[in-house]
Amino acid sequence: MGDQPLLACGMAAGPLFTATYLLEGAGRVHYKSSRHPVSSLALGPAGWAQTANFLVAGLLSLLFAVGLWRTGPSHWGALLIGVWAVGLLGAGAFRTDPVSGYPVGTPDQLQHPTRVGALHDLFSLIGFLALAVACFVFALSNSPGWALYSTASGALFATTMTLASAAFSQHERWVDLGGLLQRVALTIGWTWQTLLGARVLHT
């Protein structure tokens, strides 16, 4: 596969992932987008759609990492995008535990997380950290505008994802806003990846 299609994969991953979880969330009874994480859409009879969403986004991002390795300004940055992709694949391979009362009838937080749920959280954490650091690595650019945008994206992504994690841990101040905070973080991260692909593609 040529470099341009590989970079285009990275540009397509975010919009596809976002459209899928928005459609899935809108059609779920008792699912609250403002409160519940995207990962919870993998629970229940229709959970295969969100599982596939993670896997497809992870594969597209992994192909993107290969394109960045070949053409991008930073091999370290490309490796970090690869780790982000592996995080997405792991989040798809290992299903999350119930959280914040979804599905209905489950506790807000399990007293003893399952092994599968713990692996989901671990892969997600590794992926989120890698993407945040990648933003700062790719900020090392000759373009002041891009450097400022990339740095701000990394900081805002890390901040909003940290607050979302606190919400899913049932922090009283944030618990009802966990889903919203996570969606803000994901939008920041995916937008940055899309624009990174466009930038590298046209340089």
Per-residue pLDDT reduced to its tens digit, 64-74: 999 999 998 89
Looking at the structure of the chain, the number of domains it has is 1
Tens digits of residue pLDDT in 92-151: 999 999 999 999 999 999 989 999 999 999 999 999 999 999 999 999 987 999 999 999
CB-based contacts of 141: which residues, under 8 Å, 6+ apart? 73, 147, 150
1 confidence band (pLDDT: 50, 70, 90): low
Residue 109 forms beta bridges with which residues? 99
Is residue 126 within 8 A of residue 85, CB to CB? The reply is no
Task: Identify the pLDDT of residue 13.
Answer: 98
pTM for this one?
0.96
Range of the domain at 133: 3-201
Task: Identify the pLDDT of residue 203.
Answer: 79
What's the Cα-to-Cα distance from 57 to each of 9, 11, 138, rounded to whole Å?
9, 10, 21
